[in-house]
A and B are shown apart, each in its own frame.
Chain A
Amino acid sequence: MTEFLQQLVNGVSLGAIFALIALGYTMVYGVLRFINFAHSEVFMVGAFTGYFIGQHVPAHSMSGGLLALAGAMAASAVLGIVIERLAYRPLRGAPTLNVLITAIGVSLLLQNLAQYFWGATPRPYPELFPAANYNLGGIVVSSNQVTVVVVTLALLLALRFIVLRTKIGTAMRALSLNPKAAALVGINIDVVISFTFGLGSALAAAGGVLYALNYPSIDPIMGTLPGLKAFVAAVLGGIGNIPGAALGGLLLGVIETFVNGSEWSTYKDAIAFAVLILILLFRPAGLLGRFTVEKV
Protein backbone atom coordinates (compact mmCIF):
# COMPACT_ATOMS: atom_id res chain seq x y z
CA MET A 1 0.00 0.00 0.00
CA THR A 2 2.78 2.44 0.93
CA GLU A 3 4.51 1.42 -2.28
CA PHE A 4 1.34 2.13 -4.24
CA LEU A 5 0.79 5.54 -2.63
CA GLN A 6 4.43 6.44 -3.11
CA GLN A 7 4.18 5.67 -6.82
CA LEU A 8 0.92 7.60 -7.03
CA VAL A 9 2.59 10.68 -5.52
CA ASN A 10 5.49 10.39 -7.96
CA GLY A 11 3.10 9.80 -10.82
CA VAL A 12 0.90 12.77 -10.03
CA SER A 13 3.88 15.07 -9.84
CA LEU A 14 5.21 13.85 -13.21
CA GLY A 15 1.71 13.94 -14.68
CA ALA A 16 1.21 17.53 -13.57
CA ILE A 17 4.20 18.52 -15.69
CA PHE A 18 2.87 16.62 -18.72
CA ALA A 19 -0.45 18.37 -18.15
CA LEU A 20 1.15 21.82 -18.22
CA ILE A 21 2.85 21.06 -21.55
CA ALA A 22 -0.20 19.31 -23.00
CA LEU A 23 -2.35 22.40 -22.44
CA GLY A 24 -0.26 24.38 -24.93
CA TYR A 25 -0.69 21.73 -27.63
CA THR A 26 -4.40 21.52 -27.08
CA MET A 27 -5.05 25.28 -26.95
CA VAL A 28 -3.09 25.95 -30.12
CA TYR A 29 -4.88 23.07 -31.80
CA GLY A 30 -8.16 24.58 -30.64
CA VAL A 31 -7.61 27.88 -32.39
CA LEU A 32 -5.48 26.86 -35.38
CA ARG A 33 -6.21 23.13 -35.88
CA PHE A 34 -2.58 22.09 -36.09
CA ILE A 35 0.02 20.60 -33.78
CA ASN A 36 2.77 23.01 -32.84
CA PHE A 37 5.74 20.63 -32.77
CA ALA A 38 8.01 23.47 -31.70
CA HIS A 39 6.18 23.45 -28.36
CA SER A 40 8.71 21.03 -26.85
CA GLU A 41 11.48 23.53 -27.61
CA VAL A 42 9.50 26.29 -25.93
CA PHE A 43 9.48 23.97 -22.90
CA MET A 44 13.25 23.56 -23.20
CA VAL A 45 13.86 27.30 -23.53
CA GLY A 46 11.69 27.77 -20.44
CA ALA A 47 13.89 25.39 -18.47
CA PHE A 48 17.04 27.17 -19.68
CA THR A 49 15.64 30.60 -18.83
CA GLY A 50 14.91 29.33 -15.34
CA TYR A 51 18.49 28.05 -15.22
CA PHE A 52 20.00 31.40 -16.17
CA ILE A 53 17.82 33.32 -13.76
CA GLY A 54 18.79 30.74 -11.13
CA GLN A 55 22.42 31.87 -11.50
CA HIS A 56 21.46 35.31 -10.26
CA VAL A 57 19.03 34.60 -7.46
CA PRO A 58 19.76 32.93 -4.13
CA ALA A 59 19.28 29.15 -4.22
CA HIS A 60 16.81 27.38 -1.94
CA SER A 61 14.58 30.41 -1.65
CA MET A 62 10.89 30.66 -2.37
CA SER A 63 11.10 34.15 -3.84
CA GLY A 64 14.10 33.23 -6.02
CA GLY A 65 12.30 30.14 -7.27
CA LEU A 66 9.13 32.02 -8.07
CA LEU A 67 11.14 34.72 -9.82
CA ALA A 68 12.86 32.12 -12.01
CA LEU A 69 9.51 30.54 -12.74
CA ALA A 70 7.86 33.84 -13.66
CA GLY A 71 10.84 34.93 -15.75
CA ALA A 72 10.87 31.64 -17.64
CA MET A 73 7.14 31.91 -18.28
CA ALA A 74 7.44 35.47 -19.57
CA ALA A 75 10.41 34.65 -21.85
CA SER A 76 8.70 31.60 -23.31
CA ALA A 77 5.45 33.49 -23.81
CA VAL A 78 7.35 36.01 -25.92
CA LEU A 79 9.12 33.20 -27.79
CA GLY A 80 5.81 31.47 -28.53
CA ILE A 81 4.27 34.70 -29.83
CA VAL A 82 7.32 35.40 -32.00
CA ILE A 83 7.30 31.86 -33.45
CA GLU A 84 3.65 32.21 -34.41
CA ARG A 85 4.18 35.65 -35.89
CA LEU A 86 7.21 34.72 -37.99
CA ALA A 87 6.66 31.07 -38.89
CA TYR A 88 2.96 30.25 -38.77
CA ARG A 89 1.09 33.45 -39.54
CA PRO A 90 2.45 33.75 -43.10
CA LEU A 91 1.03 30.26 -43.67
CA ARG A 92 -2.48 31.09 -42.46
CA GLY A 93 -4.84 29.48 -44.94
CA ALA A 94 -2.15 27.16 -46.30
CA PRO A 95 -2.75 23.38 -46.10
CA THR A 96 -2.23 22.00 -42.57
CA LEU A 97 0.56 19.76 -43.79
CA ASN A 98 2.68 22.78 -44.76
CA VAL A 99 2.23 24.27 -41.32
CA LEU A 100 3.08 20.96 -39.63
CA ILE A 101 6.31 20.65 -41.61
CA THR A 102 7.15 24.25 -40.72
CA ALA A 103 6.55 23.43 -37.06
CA ILE A 104 9.02 20.55 -37.26
CA GLY A 105 11.47 22.92 -38.95
CA VAL A 106 11.08 25.50 -36.18
CA SER A 107 11.58 22.76 -33.60
CA LEU A 108 14.88 21.64 -35.16
CA LEU A 109 16.00 25.24 -35.64
CA LEU A 110 15.46 26.04 -31.96
CA GLN A 111 17.22 22.85 -30.85
CA ASN A 112 20.23 23.70 -32.98
CA LEU A 113 20.29 27.32 -31.95
CA ALA A 114 20.25 26.22 -28.34
CA GLN A 115 23.14 23.84 -28.99
CA TYR A 116 25.04 26.59 -30.77
CA PHE A 117 24.64 29.12 -27.98
CA TRP A 118 24.46 26.95 -24.89
CA GLY A 119 26.37 23.85 -25.98
CA ALA A 120 25.17 20.27 -26.02
CA THR A 121 26.63 19.27 -22.66
CA PRO A 122 23.99 18.63 -20.01
CA ARG A 123 24.03 21.19 -17.20
CA PRO A 124 23.09 20.48 -13.60
CA TYR A 125 19.97 22.40 -12.61
CA PRO A 126 20.14 24.80 -9.67
CA GLU A 127 18.01 24.05 -6.63
CA LEU A 128 15.70 27.01 -6.98
CA PHE A 129 13.20 26.22 -4.25
CA PRO A 130 13.84 25.28 -0.61
CA ALA A 131 14.64 21.55 -0.60
CA ALA A 132 13.34 19.12 1.97
CA ASN A 133 11.86 15.66 2.12
CA TYR A 134 8.72 14.99 4.09
CA ASN A 135 8.00 11.54 5.43
CA LEU A 136 4.28 10.93 5.65
CA GLY A 137 3.88 7.51 7.21
CA GLY A 138 6.42 5.87 4.94
CA ILE A 139 5.62 7.90 1.85
CA VAL A 140 8.41 10.25 0.97
CA VAL A 141 7.32 13.48 -0.63
CA SER A 142 9.98 15.92 -1.75
CA SER A 143 9.36 19.64 -1.49
CA ASN A 144 9.94 19.83 -5.24
CA GLN A 145 7.03 17.47 -5.77
CA VAL A 146 4.89 19.68 -3.58
CA THR A 147 6.04 22.71 -5.57
CA VAL A 148 5.10 20.95 -8.82
CA VAL A 149 1.62 20.11 -7.63
CA VAL A 150 0.91 23.49 -6.00
CA VAL A 151 2.24 25.51 -8.94
CA THR A 152 0.36 23.34 -11.42
CA LEU A 153 -2.88 23.65 -9.50
CA ALA A 154 -2.50 27.41 -9.23
CA LEU A 155 -1.79 27.69 -12.97
CA LEU A 156 -4.72 25.44 -13.87
CA LEU A 157 -7.08 27.54 -11.78
CA ALA A 158 -5.73 30.74 -13.33
CA LEU A 159 -6.14 29.20 -16.79
CA ARG A 160 -9.66 28.12 -15.99
CA PHE A 161 -10.49 31.64 -14.91
CA ILE A 162 -8.99 33.16 -18.04
CA VAL A 163 -10.70 30.75 -20.41
CA LEU A 164 -14.12 30.76 -18.78
CA ARG A 165 -14.47 34.19 -17.25
CA THR A 166 -12.55 36.75 -19.28
CA LYS A 167 -13.44 38.35 -22.57
CA ILE A 168 -10.28 37.19 -24.32
CA GLY A 169 -10.81 33.66 -23.00
CA THR A 170 -14.36 33.61 -24.32
CA ALA A 171 -13.00 34.91 -27.61
CA MET A 172 -10.54 31.97 -27.64
CA ARG A 173 -13.40 29.53 -27.22
CA ALA A 174 -15.46 31.36 -29.83
CA LEU A 175 -12.55 31.26 -32.27
CA SER A 176 -12.01 27.55 -31.75
CA LEU A 177 -15.73 26.88 -32.31
CA ASN A 178 -16.08 28.96 -35.44
CA PRO A 179 -13.32 31.19 -36.81
CA LYS A 180 -15.56 32.85 -39.42
CA ALA A 181 -18.24 33.76 -36.90
CA ALA A 182 -15.54 34.99 -34.52
CA ALA A 183 -14.24 37.34 -37.21
CA LEU A 184 -17.79 38.52 -37.95
CA VAL A 185 -18.47 39.63 -34.38
CA GLY A 186 -15.35 41.76 -34.52
CA ILE A 187 -12.78 39.52 -32.81
CA ASN A 188 -9.29 40.30 -34.05
CA ILE A 189 -8.25 36.74 -34.84
CA ASP A 190 -4.52 37.53 -34.91
CA VAL A 191 -4.57 39.00 -31.42
CA VAL A 192 -6.42 36.01 -29.98
CA ILE A 193 -4.04 33.57 -31.68
CA SER A 194 -1.02 35.45 -30.32
CA PHE A 195 -2.58 35.42 -26.87
CA THR A 196 -3.17 31.67 -27.12
CA PHE A 197 0.44 31.03 -28.11
CA GLY A 198 1.67 33.24 -25.27
CA LEU A 199 -0.53 31.50 -22.73
CA GLY A 200 0.36 27.97 -23.88
CA SER A 201 4.06 28.79 -24.05
CA ALA A 202 4.07 30.27 -20.55
CA LEU A 203 2.53 27.05 -19.23
CA ALA A 204 5.14 24.99 -21.10
CA ALA A 205 7.91 27.09 -19.54
CA ALA A 206 6.49 26.47 -16.08
CA GLY A 207 6.47 22.79 -16.99
CA GLY A 208 10.10 23.10 -18.13
CA VAL A 209 11.31 24.63 -14.87
CA LEU A 210 9.34 22.15 -12.76
CA TYR A 211 10.59 19.23 -14.83
CA ALA A 212 14.19 20.37 -14.45
CA LEU A 213 13.75 20.70 -10.69
CA ASN A 214 12.80 17.02 -10.49
CA TYR A 215 15.10 15.68 -13.21
CA PRO A 216 17.90 18.13 -12.56
CA SER A 217 19.91 18.05 -15.75
CA ILE A 218 19.08 20.11 -18.82
CA ASP A 219 20.27 20.12 -22.42
CA PRO A 220 18.96 21.43 -25.75
CA ILE A 221 17.17 18.22 -26.69
CA MET A 222 15.55 17.71 -23.29
CA GLY A 223 12.18 18.81 -24.70
CA THR A 224 11.75 16.04 -27.25
CA LEU A 225 10.50 13.18 -25.12
CA PRO A 226 8.42 15.12 -22.57
CA GLY A 227 7.03 17.13 -25.50
CA LEU A 228 6.05 13.99 -27.37
CA LYS A 229 4.46 12.51 -24.28
CA ALA A 230 2.56 15.70 -23.55
CA PHE A 231 1.30 15.63 -27.12
CA VAL A 232 0.15 12.07 -26.48
CA ALA A 233 -1.52 13.28 -23.29
CA ALA A 234 -3.35 16.00 -25.22
CA VAL A 235 -4.62 13.46 -27.75
CA LEU A 236 -5.49 11.09 -24.94
CA GLY A 237 -7.68 13.69 -23.25
CA GLY A 238 -9.22 14.79 -26.54
CA ILE A 239 -7.21 17.27 -28.59
CA GLY A 240 -8.64 20.77 -28.36
CA ASN A 241 -10.21 20.01 -24.98
CA ILE A 242 -8.57 21.90 -22.11
CA PRO A 243 -9.69 19.77 -19.12
CA GLY A 244 -8.92 16.75 -21.32
CA ALA A 245 -5.29 17.80 -21.69
CA ALA A 246 -4.91 18.16 -17.93
CA LEU A 247 -6.51 14.77 -17.33
CA GLY A 248 -4.49 13.12 -20.10
CA GLY A 249 -1.25 14.49 -18.70
CA LEU A 250 -2.02 13.31 -15.20
CA LEU A 251 -3.01 9.86 -16.42
CA LEU A 252 0.06 9.44 -18.57
CA GLY A 253 2.35 10.51 -15.72
CA VAL A 254 0.75 8.03 -13.32
CA ILE A 255 0.84 5.17 -15.82
CA GLU A 256 4.45 5.83 -16.70
CA THR A 257 5.50 5.96 -13.06
CA PHE A 258 3.73 2.71 -12.20
CA VAL A 259 5.26 0.91 -15.15
CA ASN A 260 8.61 2.38 -14.21
CA GLY A 261 8.30 0.88 -10.74
CA SER A 262 7.45 -2.58 -12.05
CA GLU A 263 9.64 -5.25 -13.61
CA TRP A 264 8.78 -3.88 -17.10
CA SER A 265 10.43 -0.54 -16.37
CA THR A 266 12.64 -0.81 -19.47
CA TYR A 267 9.50 -0.64 -21.57
CA LYS A 268 7.91 2.32 -19.77
CA ASP A 269 7.68 4.49 -22.88
CA ALA A 270 6.43 1.62 -25.04
CA ILE A 271 3.76 0.78 -22.51
CA ALA A 272 2.67 4.41 -22.13
CA PHE A 273 2.20 4.65 -25.88
CA ALA A 274 0.47 1.25 -26.02
CA VAL A 275 -2.05 2.57 -23.51
CA LEU A 276 -2.62 5.54 -25.76
CA ILE A 277 -3.28 3.29 -28.75
CA LEU A 278 -5.70 1.18 -26.72
CA ILE A 279 -7.66 4.14 -25.41
CA LEU A 280 -7.86 5.69 -28.84
CA LEU A 281 -9.11 2.39 -30.29
CA PHE A 282 -12.11 2.58 -28.00
CA ARG A 283 -12.49 6.35 -27.76
CA PRO A 284 -11.08 7.76 -30.98
CA ALA A 285 -11.89 11.34 -29.95
CA GLY A 286 -9.98 10.97 -26.69
CA LEU A 287 -11.28 10.66 -23.15
CA LEU A 288 -13.13 13.97 -22.95
CA GLY A 289 -13.19 14.76 -26.66
CA ARG A 290 -16.34 14.57 -28.65
CA PHE A 291 -16.68 14.31 -32.37
CA THR A 292 -18.87 17.10 -33.54
CA VAL A 293 -20.52 17.02 -36.88
CA GLU A 294 -19.42 20.12 -38.68
CA LYS A 295 -22.45 21.93 -39.96
CA VAL A 296 -22.02 23.56 -43.32
Chain B
Amino acid sequence: MLEVTDLSVSYGAISALGGISFSIEAGSIVTLIGANGAGKTTTLRALSGLVRAKGGRVTFAGADITNLAPHRIVARGLCHVPEGRMIFSNLTVDENLAMGAYLQKDQARIATNRDYVFGIFPRLQERLLQPAGTLSGGEQQMLAIGRALMGNPKLLMLDEPSLGIAPKLIRTIFEKIVEINRRHGVTILLVEQNANLALEISHRAFVLETGRIVMAGESRTLRANPELKAAYLGG
Protein backbone atom coordinates (compact mmCIF):
# COMPACT_ATOMS: atom_id res chain seq x y z
CA MET B 1 0.00 0.00 0.00
CA LEU B 2 2.81 2.39 0.91
CA GLU B 3 6.25 2.03 -0.58
CA VAL B 4 9.05 4.30 0.62
CA THR B 5 12.31 4.16 -1.28
CA ASP B 6 15.49 5.87 -0.15
CA LEU B 7 13.60 8.82 1.34
CA SER B 8 15.84 11.63 2.63
CA VAL B 9 15.01 14.95 4.28
CA SER B 10 17.22 17.81 5.43
CA TYR B 11 16.46 20.90 7.47
CA GLY B 12 18.92 23.36 5.96
CA ALA B 13 22.33 21.74 6.18
CA ILE B 14 21.23 19.25 8.80
CA SER B 15 20.22 15.86 7.53
CA ALA B 16 17.19 14.50 9.37
CA LEU B 17 16.55 11.40 7.30
CA GLY B 18 19.41 9.73 5.50
CA GLY B 19 17.64 7.62 2.91
CA ILE B 20 15.16 5.23 4.49
CA SER B 21 13.22 2.51 2.73
CA PHE B 22 10.28 0.53 3.99
CA SER B 23 6.89 -0.64 2.90
CA ILE B 24 3.52 -1.10 4.55
CA GLU B 25 1.06 -3.81 3.63
CA ALA B 26 -2.62 -2.99 3.40
CA GLY B 27 -4.53 -3.87 6.56
CA SER B 28 -1.55 -3.97 8.89
CA ILE B 29 -0.43 -1.89 11.86
CA VAL B 30 3.18 -0.84 11.47
CA THR B 31 5.10 1.03 14.11
CA LEU B 32 8.13 3.24 13.84
CA ILE B 33 10.08 3.38 17.06
CA GLY B 34 13.19 5.27 18.03
CA ALA B 35 14.61 7.81 20.43
CA ASN B 36 13.93 11.54 20.32
CA GLY B 37 15.41 13.09 17.22
CA ALA B 38 15.72 9.79 15.40
CA GLY B 39 13.54 11.12 12.57
CA LYS B 40 10.18 9.52 13.31
CA THR B 41 8.14 12.72 13.09
CA THR B 42 10.14 13.86 10.08
CA THR B 43 9.29 10.61 8.31
CA LEU B 44 5.56 11.19 8.82
CA ARG B 45 5.84 14.82 7.79
CA ALA B 46 7.62 13.90 4.60
CA LEU B 47 4.94 11.30 3.83
CA SER B 48 2.09 13.76 4.34
CA GLY B 49 3.82 16.53 2.41
CA LEU B 50 4.46 18.91 5.33
CA VAL B 51 8.20 18.84 4.65
CA ARG B 52 9.82 18.35 1.28
CA ALA B 53 11.77 15.22 0.55
CA LYS B 54 15.30 15.94 -0.62
CA GLY B 55 15.52 12.63 -2.36
CA GLY B 56 13.78 9.31 -2.74
CA ARG B 57 10.31 8.24 -3.69
CA VAL B 58 7.01 7.63 -1.94
CA THR B 59 4.40 5.50 -3.66
CA PHE B 60 0.94 5.22 -2.18
CA ALA B 61 -1.78 2.94 -3.55
CA GLY B 62 0.13 2.60 -6.78
CA ALA B 63 0.77 6.31 -7.43
CA ASP B 64 3.85 8.44 -6.88
CA ILE B 65 3.01 11.01 -4.19
CA THR B 66 6.52 12.33 -3.51
CA ASN B 67 6.37 16.04 -2.69
CA LEU B 68 2.73 16.52 -3.56
CA ALA B 69 0.96 19.31 -1.62
CA PRO B 70 -0.52 18.02 1.66
CA HIS B 71 -4.13 18.47 0.55
CA ARG B 72 -3.51 16.30 -2.51
CA ILE B 73 -2.03 13.56 -0.37
CA VAL B 74 -5.00 13.65 2.01
CA ALA B 75 -7.30 13.43 -1.00
CA ARG B 76 -5.69 10.07 -1.85
CA GLY B 77 -6.48 8.67 1.58
CA LEU B 78 -3.20 9.13 3.45
CA CYS B 79 -4.11 11.01 6.63
CA HIS B 80 -1.73 12.24 9.30
CA VAL B 81 -2.67 12.84 12.94
CA PRO B 82 0.21 15.10 13.93
CA GLU B 83 2.23 15.15 17.10
CA GLY B 84 0.66 17.41 19.73
CA ARG B 85 -2.76 16.70 18.18
CA MET B 86 -3.07 20.13 16.50
CA ILE B 87 -6.81 20.31 16.85
CA PHE B 88 -8.37 23.69 16.01
CA SER B 89 -8.72 24.90 19.57
CA ASN B 90 -11.15 27.80 19.00
CA LEU B 91 -13.41 25.76 16.73
CA THR B 92 -16.07 23.51 18.21
CA VAL B 93 -15.73 19.74 18.17
CA ASP B 94 -18.39 19.75 15.46
CA GLU B 95 -16.47 22.25 13.32
CA ASN B 96 -13.24 20.28 13.80
CA LEU B 97 -14.95 17.18 12.45
CA ALA B 98 -16.44 19.18 9.58
CA MET B 99 -12.94 20.35 8.68
CA GLY B 100 -11.78 16.73 8.74
CA ALA B 101 -14.32 16.09 6.00
CA TYR B 102 -13.15 19.15 4.04
CA LEU B 103 -12.53 17.22 0.83
CA GLN B 104 -15.59 14.99 1.08
CA LYS B 105 -18.41 15.96 -1.23
CA ASP B 106 -20.92 13.21 -0.46
CA GLN B 107 -23.12 14.46 2.41
CA ALA B 108 -24.53 10.98 3.11
CA ARG B 109 -21.01 9.60 3.39
CA ILE B 110 -20.03 12.44 5.76
CA ALA B 111 -23.02 11.61 7.98
CA THR B 112 -22.05 7.93 8.01
CA ASN B 113 -18.49 8.86 8.90
CA ARG B 114 -19.67 11.02 11.78
CA ASP B 115 -21.69 8.14 13.18
CA TYR B 116 -18.71 5.89 12.75
CA VAL B 117 -16.48 8.36 14.65
CA PHE B 118 -19.09 8.74 17.42
CA GLY B 119 -19.32 4.95 17.59
CA ILE B 120 -15.60 4.77 18.29
CA PHE B 121 -15.42 7.88 20.51
CA PRO B 122 -18.85 8.47 22.11
CA ARG B 123 -17.24 11.20 24.21
CA LEU B 124 -16.98 13.44 21.15
CA GLN B 125 -20.71 13.38 20.61
CA GLU B 126 -21.29 14.59 24.17
CA ARG B 127 -18.94 17.53 23.61
CA LEU B 128 -20.06 18.43 20.11
CA LEU B 129 -20.63 22.16 20.60
CA GLN B 130 -17.75 22.77 22.98
CA PRO B 131 -14.63 24.61 21.76
CA ALA B 132 -12.06 21.90 21.14
CA GLY B 133 -9.49 23.69 23.30
CA THR B 134 -11.59 23.02 26.41
CA LEU B 135 -11.33 19.23 26.00
CA SER B 136 -8.97 17.15 28.12
CA GLY B 137 -5.76 15.88 26.54
CA GLY B 138 -7.25 12.45 25.95
CA GLU B 139 -10.40 13.87 24.40
CA GLN B 140 -8.31 16.11 22.16
CA GLN B 141 -6.46 13.04 20.96
CA MET B 142 -9.77 11.33 20.25
CA LEU B 143 -10.85 14.41 18.32
CA ALA B 144 -7.61 14.49 16.34
CA ILE B 145 -8.08 10.84 15.36
CA GLY B 146 -11.80 11.35 14.71
CA ARG B 147 -11.06 14.37 12.53
CA ALA B 148 -8.64 12.32 10.46
CA LEU B 149 -11.20 9.50 10.14
CA MET B 150 -13.67 11.98 8.65
CA GLY B 151 -11.35 12.15 5.63
CA ASN B 152 -11.89 8.46 4.72
CA PRO B 153 -8.28 7.40 5.25
CA LYS B 154 -6.92 4.23 3.71
CA LEU B 155 -3.77 4.70 5.74
CA LEU B 156 -3.78 6.57 9.02
CA MET B 157 -0.51 7.89 10.40
CA LEU B 158 -0.49 8.57 14.12
CA ASP B 159 2.30 10.57 15.72
CA GLU B 160 2.70 9.92 19.45
CA PRO B 161 -0.95 9.39 20.35
CA SER B 162 0.00 8.70 23.97
CA LEU B 163 1.83 11.99 24.47
CA GLY B 164 0.45 14.12 27.31
CA ILE B 165 -2.45 11.79 28.06
CA ALA B 166 -3.52 10.40 31.43
CA PRO B 167 -2.08 6.88 31.74
CA LYS B 168 -5.44 5.17 32.10
CA LEU B 169 -6.63 6.79 28.86
CA ILE B 170 -3.59 5.60 26.93
CA ARG B 171 -4.92 2.01 27.02
CA THR B 172 -8.29 3.17 25.72
CA ILE B 173 -6.74 5.10 22.85
CA PHE B 174 -4.63 2.11 21.85
CA GLU B 175 -7.64 -0.19 21.98
CA LYS B 176 -9.45 2.23 19.68
CA ILE B 177 -6.51 2.22 17.29
CA VAL B 178 -6.71 -1.57 17.10
CA GLU B 179 -10.47 -1.33 16.60
CA ILE B 180 -10.06 1.16 13.74
CA ASN B 181 -7.64 -1.24 12.11
CA ARG B 182 -9.49 -4.55 12.68
CA ARG B 183 -13.10 -3.50 12.31
CA HIS B 184 -12.78 -0.80 9.74
CA GLY B 185 -9.82 -2.05 7.78
CA VAL B 186 -7.73 1.12 8.04
CA THR B 187 -4.01 0.52 7.68
CA ILE B 188 -2.03 2.21 10.44
CA LEU B 189 1.44 3.66 10.72
CA LEU B 190 2.12 4.41 14.35
CA VAL B 191 4.96 6.49 15.76
CA GLU B 192 5.27 5.99 19.47
CA GLN B 193 7.64 6.68 22.36
CA ASN B 194 6.00 3.94 24.37
CA ALA B 195 7.69 1.16 22.42
CA ASN B 196 6.27 -1.62 24.60
CA LEU B 197 2.73 -0.67 23.83
CA ALA B 198 3.45 0.00 20.17
CA LEU B 199 5.05 -3.41 19.69
CA GLU B 200 2.17 -5.04 21.49
CA ILE B 201 -0.49 -3.85 19.04
CA SER B 202 1.51 -3.76 15.80
CA HIS B 203 2.30 -6.42 13.24
CA ARG B 204 5.60 -5.07 12.07
CA ALA B 205 8.07 -2.53 13.38
CA PHE B 206 10.97 -0.43 12.19
CA VAL B 207 13.56 1.04 14.48
CA LEU B 208 14.95 4.42 13.51
CA GLU B 209 18.26 5.74 14.77
CA THR B 210 19.60 9.15 13.68
CA GLY B 211 17.74 9.12 10.41
CA ARG B 212 18.32 5.50 9.42
CA ILE B 213 16.41 2.28 9.85
CA VAL B 214 18.61 0.02 11.95
CA MET B 215 16.21 -2.82 12.62
CA ALA B 216 13.05 -4.14 11.04
CA GLY B 217 10.87 -7.14 11.51
CA GLU B 218 7.79 -8.61 13.05
CA SER B 219 6.82 -6.88 16.25
CA ARG B 220 6.54 -10.18 18.08
CA THR B 221 10.14 -11.04 17.22
CA LEU B 222 11.45 -7.57 17.99
CA ARG B 223 9.91 -7.60 21.45
CA ALA B 224 12.15 -10.49 22.34
CA ASN B 225 15.26 -8.93 20.83
CA PRO B 226 17.75 -8.31 23.68
CA GLU B 227 19.40 -5.32 21.99
CA LEU B 228 16.07 -3.60 21.46
CA LYS B 229 14.95 -4.48 24.97
CA ALA B 230 17.97 -2.79 26.46
CA ALA B 231 17.62 0.33 24.33
CA TYR B 232 13.88 0.97 24.17
CA LEU B 233 11.89 -1.37 26.33
CA GLY B 234 13.37 -0.51 29.70
CA GLY B 235 15.51 -3.66 30.08
Q: Which residues of A line the B interface, CB within 8 A?
A: 167, 170-171, 173-174, 177-178, 180-189, 292, 295-296
Stretch from B11-19, B88-96, B173-181 at the A interface: B88-96
Considering the complex, give the chain A residue whose CB is closest to the CB of B103: A186
Are A181 and B82 neighbours in the complex by a CB distance under 8 Å? yes
Are A185 and B102 neighbours in the complex by a CB distance under 8 Å? yes
Q: Which of A180, A187, A292 contacts B102 (CB 8 A)?
A: A187
Within B61-78, the residues touching A (CB, 8 Å) are 69-71, 74-75
Q: Which of B74, B86, B95 contacts A178 (CB 8 A)?
A: B86
Distance in Å: Cβ of B101 to nearest Cβ of chain A: 8
Residues of B within 8 A of A186 (CB): 70-71, 74-75, 102-103, 151
Are B102 and A184 neighbours in the complex by a CB distance under 8 Å? no
Are A177 and B90 neighbours in the complex by a CB distance under 8 Å? yes
Q: Which of B79, B86, B95 contacts A180 (CB 8 A)?
A: B86
Are B103 and A184 neighbours in the complex by a CB distance under 8 Å? no
Q: Which of A174, A184, A189 contacts B74 (CB 8 A)?
A: A184
Distance in Å: Cβ of B196 to nearest Cβ of chain A: 25
**CA of A183 to CA of B99 in the docked complex: distance in angstroms?**
10
Are A167 and B102 neighbours in the complex by a CB distance under 8 Å? yes
Over the window 15-46 of chain B, the binary record of Cβ atoms lying under 8 Å from chain A Cβ atoms (1 yes, 0 no) is 00000000000000000000000000000000
Considering the complex, give the chain A residue whose CB is closest to the CB of B132: A177
Residues of B within 8 A of A170 (CB): 91, 95, 98-99
**CA of A167 to CA of B84 in the docked complex: distance in angstroms?**
25
Are B95 and A188 neighbours in the complex by a CB distance under 8 Å? no
Distance in Å: Cβ of B94 to nearest Cβ of chain A: 10
**CA of A51 to CA of B84 in the docked complex: distance in angstroms?**
52
The answer to whether A188 and B98 touch (CB under 8 A), given A174-B88, A178-B88, is: no
Q: Which of A182, A184, A187 contacts B80 (CB 8 A)?
A: A184
Considering the complex, give the chain B residue whose CB is closest to the CB of A189: B71
B87 located at the interface, meaning its Cβ lies under 8 Å from any Cβ of chain A in the complex: yes
Are B88 and A184 neighbours in the complex by a CB distance under 8 Å? no
**CA of A187 to CA of B98 in the docked complex: distance in angstroms?**
11
Residues of A within 8 A of B148 (CB): 184-185
Q: Considering only CB atoms and an 8 Å cut-off, how many residues of chain B contact the other chain?
A: 27
B147 located at the interface, meaning its Cβ lies under 8 Å from any Cβ of chain A in the complex: yes
Are A184 and B98 neighbours in the complex by a CB distance under 8 Å? no
Are A185 and B84 neighbours in the complex by a CB distance under 8 Å? no
Residues of A within 8 A of B161 (CB): none
Residues of B within 8 A of A292 (CB): 89
Residues of A within 8 A of B138 (CB): none
Residues of A within 8 A of B90 (CB): 173, 177
**CA of A187 to CA of B74 in the docked complex: distance in angstroms?**
9
Are A174 and B91 neighbours in the complex by a CB distance under 8 Å? yes
**CA of A170 to CA of B94 in the docked complex: distance in angstroms?**
11
Distance in Å: Cβ of B82 to nearest Cβ of chain A: 6
Residues of A within 8 A of B98 (CB): 167, 170
Considering the complex, give the chain A residue whose CB is closest to the CB of B45: A180
Q: Which of B70, B99, B103 contacts A174 (CB 8 A)?
A: B99
Are B75 and A173 neighbours in the complex by a CB distance under 8 Å? no
B170 located at the interface, meaning its Cβ lies under 8 Å from any Cβ of chain A in the complex: no
Are B91 and A187 neighbours in the complex by a CB distance under 8 Å? no
**CA of A182 to CA of B74 in the docked complex: distance in angstroms?**
11
Considering the complex, give the chain A residue whose CB is closest to the CB of B90: A177
Residues of A within 8 A of B79 (CB): 184
Are A181 and B87 neighbours in the complex by a CB distance under 8 Å? yes
Q: Sorted from nearest, which 8 A-B pairs have the closest CB atoms? A: A181-B86, A186-B74, A183-B70, A186-B103, A186-B102, A186-B71, A177-B88, A188-B71
B49 located at the interface, meaning its Cβ lies under 8 Å from any Cβ of chain A in the complex: yes
Which of A177, A181, A186 has its CB near the most chain B CB atoms (within 10 A)?
A186
Residues of A within 8 A of B75 (CB): 186
**CA of A174 to CA of B151 in the docked complex: distance in angstroms?**
16
Are A187 and B99 neighbours in the complex by a CB distance under 8 Å? yes
Are A187 and B95 neighbours in the complex by a CB distance under 8 Å? no
B48 located at the interface, meaning its Cβ lies under 8 Å from any Cβ of chain A in the complex: yes
Known: A184-B48, A186-B102. 12 other contacts (CB 8 A): A171-B102, A173-B88, A173-B91, A177-B89, A177-B91, A180-B82, A181-B88, A182-B88, A183-B50, A184-B74, A184-B79, A184-B148
Pairs across A and B, CB under 8 Å, 6 listed: A167-B98, A170-B95, A173-B88, A177-B91, A180-B82, A184-B79
B100 located at the interface, meaning its Cβ lies under 8 Å from any Cβ of chain A in the complex: yes
**CA of A295 to CA of B49 in the docked complex: distance in angstroms?**
21
